[in-house]
């Protein structure tokens, strides 16, 4: 066996417990995909009555949660499905991704349930009474504005908190969520013996005891000192009492969480030496799956959320954007922007203006010109994160939109566009915002390589607009579910680090054979007309002027 190769015949299983579904990818020892599988929450687990995998609480503004038990039942269903396609005996290691920031509250006594699972029963039956909070707050939640303000105050300001933890306080971040539970339901907080992220929660099921929170996903909590990769005492104190013992210690993402629990060996015939590698967040796993390891590269994930991410050695945490420790390195950082109005908002506009059909949506994109004759839109079906604006649609008609300077462009607000222009205004608006914030956050522009992933990256018409606005070629990988692919690859990496007894650089596993693997990025859409990039720059500046005004008038902060 060459120094960094994986034994022939081993499989690596990666999951992605995301907002709308649980996905899985199985890689072979040559990093080719052998199986993919999906459990869609709304349609395959209809008894939970979720919409897009979530509940929107009509009585509390911005409260968005998911039933914790649904994620457990999805795992039962997924393992059933996979058992028909692969022999689990061949799986050398398992890892996974969880939607970032979502949290799970284990009731006192649950660790003994975890460690004594009955293989004759499904998981869902056994965890029915294990959670002190039955509905997990998730990344879409925006009900913790007050807690965010108090945490920032206690930390000496938003920028202080961001310098230490990588982000200012964000409503969806787990620290503010925990503080809200402590403030509004102190008894429930007291009855909680352990708090997991979605990622470490799923890992806990697999090892039959509480898994650590990994250092990268842990940075999405406003609690971790990102340079030292340890919990910050000051941030813990600013959040809730006795929190450290409820969180356990953070661990590197490449480390072993534990051996797979006997439950899975007996019920599904995994080998008893199958390793469970720490799970991490979905965006960090996508970074791994897209093999992003050069600072000039950027990835855009068009999933339920839209995110833009890359790596850097010298992060500068600011008031917008996020910095996390690099999930596949012992040093270095991952930088990211996150939008809440991604795929569900695209679906909403498709349903309103394009007869619920992606084909018609695409036809409208093709029949409208780049720059949309100066029609510019802001579409917030959900409270937006970037910028922090409430639900609402804002549309503007721009005069002189091809002028050389933004001062010559004049806008006036309008009520609605024709249907094809609505579609283009949405797509151009989303990508103009990304370009503006990428530049403002100091991410590379234009990127050396721009890789698209997530559900909507299968749509080449949408990628065409992205290419025109960013002025660069767009690459994609074989399949749009890079989070579960990255988790499978990290499972292999964790297995290898464990076999060698030390950290092995991530790319050593695949760099000599990348082109022959499922990890290979291929050119999907060419950059197109270069003169458009500067025209879009003017439109982008106008957009930012309007955005700043909207934030001043309507912003939550
Ligand atoms: P997540 O992992 O966040 O749950 P996915 O990355 O699986 O989400 O993306 C799911 C989304 O992909 C769906 O909500 C859907 O709107 C979008 N999608 C799927 N196919 C297309 C398409 N052809 N064009 C645009 N969007 C699409
Ligand atoms: C990232 C974020 C989302 C979720 C979606 O900060 O909130 O991208 O990870 O699953």
Kindly write down the DSSP assignment for every residue of 235-299, as one continuous string: HHHTT-TTHHHHH---B-TTSEEEEPPHHHHHHH---TT-EEEPPEEHHHHHHHHTT--STTEEE
Q: Are 483 and 279 in contact (CB under 8 A)?
A: no
Q: Are 22 and 71 in contact (CB under 8 A)?
A: yes
Ligand 2 pocket test: which of 139, 384, 388 has the largest number of ligand atoms within 8 Å of its C-beta?
139
- Residue matched to tokens 């190769």: 5
Closest atom of ligand 2 to CA, residue 139:
7
Closest atom of ligand 1 to CA, residue 347:
16
Q: What's the 173 CA to ligand 2 centre distance in angstroms?
A: 10
Predicted local distance difference test score (pLDDT) of residue 1: 44
Closest atom of ligand 2 to CA, residue 385:
7
Closest atom of ligand 1 to CA, residue 16:
2
Say if 70 falls within a structural domain.
no
Domain count, the chain: 1
Say if 46 falls within a structural domain.
no
Q: What's the 344 CA to ligand 1 centre distance in angstroms?
A: 8
Rounded Cα gap, residues 375 and 397, in angstroms: 5
- pLDDT (tens, 9 = 90+) of the chain, 557 residues, equals 467 778 899 999 999 999 999 999 999 999 999 999 999 999 999 999 999 999 999 998 899 999 999 999 999 999 999 999 999 999 999 999 999 999 999 999 999 999 999 999 999 999 999 999 999 999 999 999 999 999 999 999 999 999 999 999 999 999 999 999 999 999 999 999 999 999 999 999 999 999 999 999 999 999 999 999 999 999 999 999 999 999 999 999 999 999 999 999 999 999 999 999 999 999 999 999 999 989 999 999 999 999 999 999 999 989 999 999 999 999 999 999 999 999 999 999 999 999 999 999 999 999 999 999 999 999 999 999 999 999 999 999 999 999 999 999 999 999 999 999 999 999 999 999 999 999 999 999 999 999 999 999 999 999 999 999 999 999 999 999 999 999 999 999 999 999 999 999 999 999 999 999 999 999 999 998 999 999 999 999 999 999 999 999 998 76
Looking at all shown ligands, the one closest to residue 284's CA atom is: 2
Ligand 1 pocket test: which of 343, 454, 458 has the largest number of ligand atoms within 8 Å of its C-beta?
343
Q: What's the 403 CA to ligand 2 centre distance in angstroms?
A: 37
Q: What residue ranges line ligand 2, CB within 6 angstroms?
A: 18-19, 99-101, 139, 172, 220, 281-283, 305, 307, 338
Looking at all shown ligands, the one closest to residue 50's CA atom is: 1
Q: Alpha carbon 26 to chain centroid distance?
A: 20
Q: What is the DSSP-derived secondary structure letter of residue 212?
A: P
Coil, strand or helix: which one is 214? strand
Closest atom of ligand 1 to CA, residue 99:
3
Looking at all shown ligands, the one closest to residue 217's CA atom is: 2
Looking at all shown ligands, the one closest to residue 358's CA atom is: 1
Looking at all shown ligands, the one closest to residue 308's CA atom is: 2
Q: What residue ranges line ligand 1, CB within 6 angstroms?
A: 18-21, 303-304, 343, 346-347, 358, 454-456, 458-459, 462
Q: What's the 455 CA to ligand 1 centre distance in angstroms?
A: 3
Q: What's the 19 CA to ligand 1 centre distance in angstroms?
A: 11
Maximum CA extent, the chain = 72
Closest atom of ligand 2 to CA, residue 98:
10
Residues of the domain holding 357: 343-381+391-441+527-554
CB contact set of 255 (below 8 Å; sequence gap of 6+): 212, 277, 278, 494, 497
Say if 135 falls within a structural domain.
no
Say if 78 falls within a structural domain.
no
Residue 469 tokens, joined: 């606005």
Closest atom of ligand 1 to CA, residue 454:
6
Ligand 2 pocket test: which of 140, 173, 281 has the largest number of ligand atoms within 8 Å of its C-beta?
281
CATH label of the domain that carries residue 365: 3.30.420.40
Predicted local distance difference test score (pLDDT) of residue 528: 80
Ligand 2 pocket test: which of 98, 283, 337 has the largest number of ligand atoms within 8 Å of its C-beta?
283
Q: What's the 503 CA to ligand 2 centre distance in angstroms?
A: 27
Predicted local distance difference test score (pLDDT) of residue 60: 87
Say if 121 falls within a structural domain.
no
Say if 312 falls within a structural domain.
no
Closest atom of ligand 1 to CA, residue 53:
4
Residues in a beta bridge with 106: 131, 194
DSSP annotation string for 508-551: GGTTTTGGGSTT--EEEE----THHHHHHHHHHHHHHHHHHHHH
Rounded Cα gap, residues 299 and 301, in angstroms: 6
Q: Whose CA is nearest to atom 11 of ligand 1?
A: 455
Q: What's the 385 CA to ligand 2 centre distance in angstroms?
A: 11
Ligand 1 pocket test: which of 456, 466, 484 has the largest number of ligand atoms within 8 Å of its C-beta?
456
Predicted local distance difference test score (pLDDT) of residue 557: 66
In terms of C-beta density within 10 A (0-12 exposed, 13-18 middle, 19 or more buried), how is residue 432 classed? buried
Q: What's the 26 CA to ligand 1 centre distance in angstroms?
A: 21
Residue 391 tokens, joined: 């639900």
Q: What's the 481 CA to ligand 2 centre distance in angstroms?
A: 14
Provide the b/e sequence for 394-418 (b: ≥16 CB within 10 Å). bbbbbeebeeeebeebebeeeeebe
Predicted local distance difference test score (pLDDT) of residue 2: 61
Say if 374 falls within a structural domain.
yes
Q: Whose CA is nearest to atom 8 of ligand 1?
A: 303
Closest atom of ligand 1 to CA, residue 303:
6
């Amino acid at each position: 066996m060459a120094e960094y190769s994986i034994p022939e015949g081993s499989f690596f299983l990666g999951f992605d417990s995301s907002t709308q579904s649980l996905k899985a990818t199985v890689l072979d020892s040559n990093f080719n995909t052998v199986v993919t599988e999906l459990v869609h929450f709304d349609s395959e687990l209809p008894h939970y009555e979720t919409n897009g995998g979530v509940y929107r609480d009509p009585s509390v503004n911005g409260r968005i949660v998911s039933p914790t038990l649904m994620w457990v039942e999805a795992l039962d269903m997924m393992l059933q499905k996979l058992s028909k396609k692969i022999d689990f005996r061949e799986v050398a290691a398992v890892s996974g991704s969880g939607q970032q920031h979502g949290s799970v509250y284990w009731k006192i006594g649950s660790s003994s349930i975890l460690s004594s699972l009955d293989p004759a029963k499904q998981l869902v039956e056994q965890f029915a009474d294990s959670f002190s909070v039955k509905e997990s707050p998730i990344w879409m939640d925006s009900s913790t504005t007050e807690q965010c303000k108090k945490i920032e105050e206690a930390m000496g300001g938003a920028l202080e908190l961001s310098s230490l933890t990588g982000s200012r306080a964000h409503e969806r971040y787990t620290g503010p969520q925990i503080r809200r539970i402590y403030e509004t339901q102190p008894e429930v907080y007291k009855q909680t013996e352990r708090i997991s992220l979605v990622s470490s929660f799923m890992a806990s099921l697999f090892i039959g005891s509480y898994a650590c929170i990994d250092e990268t996903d842990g940075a999405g909590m406003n609690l971790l000192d990102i340079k030292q990769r340890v919990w910050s005492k000051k941030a813990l104190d600013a959040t809730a009492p006795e929190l450290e013992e409820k969180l356990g210690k953070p661990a590197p993402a490449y480390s072993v969480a534990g051996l797979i629990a006997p439950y899975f060996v007996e019920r599904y015939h995994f080998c008893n030496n199958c390793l469970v590698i720490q799970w991490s967040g979905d965006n960090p796993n996508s970074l791994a799956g897209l093999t992003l390891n050069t600072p000039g590269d950027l990835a855009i994930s068009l999933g339920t959320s839209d995110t833009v991410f890359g790596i850097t050695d010298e992060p500068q945490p600011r008031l917008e954007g996020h910095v996390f420790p690099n999930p596949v390195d012992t040093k270095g950082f991952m930088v990211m922007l996150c939008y809440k109005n991604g795929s569900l908002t695209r679906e909403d506009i498709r349903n309103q203006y394009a007869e619920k059909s992606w084909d018609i949506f695409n036809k409208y994109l093709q029949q409208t010109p780049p720059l949309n004759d100066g029609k510019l839109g802001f579409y917030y079906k959900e409270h937006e994160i970037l910028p922090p604006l409430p639900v609402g649609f804002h549309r503007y008609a721009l005069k002189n939109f091809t002028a050389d300077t933004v001062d010559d462009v004049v806008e006036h607000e309008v009520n609605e566009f024709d249907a094809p222009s609505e579609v283009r205004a949405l797509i151009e608006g989303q990508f103009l915002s990304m370009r503006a914030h990428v530049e403002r956050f100091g991410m590379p522009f234009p990127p050396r390589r721009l890789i698209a992933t997530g559900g909507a990256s299968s749509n080449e018409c949408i990628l065409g607009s992205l290419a025109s606005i960013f002025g660069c070629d767009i690459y994609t990988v074989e399949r749009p579910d890079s989070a579960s692919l990255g988790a499978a690859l990290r499972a292999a990496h964790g297995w290898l680090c464990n076999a060698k007894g030390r950290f092995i650089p991530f790319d050593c596993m695949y760099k000599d054979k990348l082109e022959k693997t499922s990890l290979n990025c291929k050119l999907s859409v060419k950059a197109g007309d270069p003169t458009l990039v500067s025209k879009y720059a003017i439109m982008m500046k106008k957009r930012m002027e309007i955005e700043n005004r909207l934030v001043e008038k309507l912003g939550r902060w």
